[in-house]
Amino acid sequence: MLKGIPKILSPELLKVLCEMGHSDRIVIADGNFPAESMGKDAIVIRMDGHGAVEVLNAILTLFPLDTYVEKPVSLMQVVPGDNVETPIWKEYERAVAAVDERGSAAIGQIERFAFYEEAKKAYAIIATGEGALYANIMLQKGVVV
């Protein structure tokens, strides 16, 4: 046990966060995301019993967002014609705004299949048990100052 570290962050995830360098990306995936097939060249961490928001909040306590790019946070865009609400995105905005002065301006969207391609290049993918649709979020690591 360590003081000041959110208990949801496992030793494996802490190690991954430490290993990541500037501009490396990590995906927090919802329960429907094909984490194992997308993560063939990445580290896949299973967190099936947890939601994406709680994982995001914990990671952001330790993880600086990249200040050298306009949108260090990316969401999977809703497919046109897919009539789905995404209230979880507001929770993501609150989490990002709590740690980054850009707030929601730091968050962009990527078309579904482009998101998959970017996820294949991520350093790690966290497979959560999140049930919300379109709850996939990708973070780009910044510099620790």
Q: What's the pLDDT tens digit per position in 25-71?
A: 999 999 999 999 999 999 999 999 999 999 999 999 999 999 999 99
Catalytic residues: 22, 66, 116
Bridge partners of residue 123, in order along the sequence: none
DSSP label of 65 = B
* Predicted model pTM: 0.96
The DSSP bridge pattern shows strands 137-140 and 25-29 to be antiparallel
Domains of the chain: 22-140 (3.40.1650.10)
Give the residue among 124, 112, 61 at the shortest CA–CA distance from 86.
112
Residue-wise pLDDT for 106-143, tens only, equals: 999 999 999 999 999 999 999 999 999 999 999 999 99
66 vs 100: CA distance, rounded Å? 10
So what's the pLDDT on residue 63? 96
28 vs 45: CA distance, rounded Å? 10
- pLDDT score of 1 more than 80: no
- pLDDT score of 2 more than 90: no
The DSSP bridge pattern shows strands 137-140 and 73-76 to be antiparallel
> Residue 144's Cα: distance from chain center in Å?
18
Q: Which residue has the tokens 């360098």?
A: 21
46 vs 129: CA distance, rounded Å? 9
Bridge partners of residue 61, in order along the sequence: none
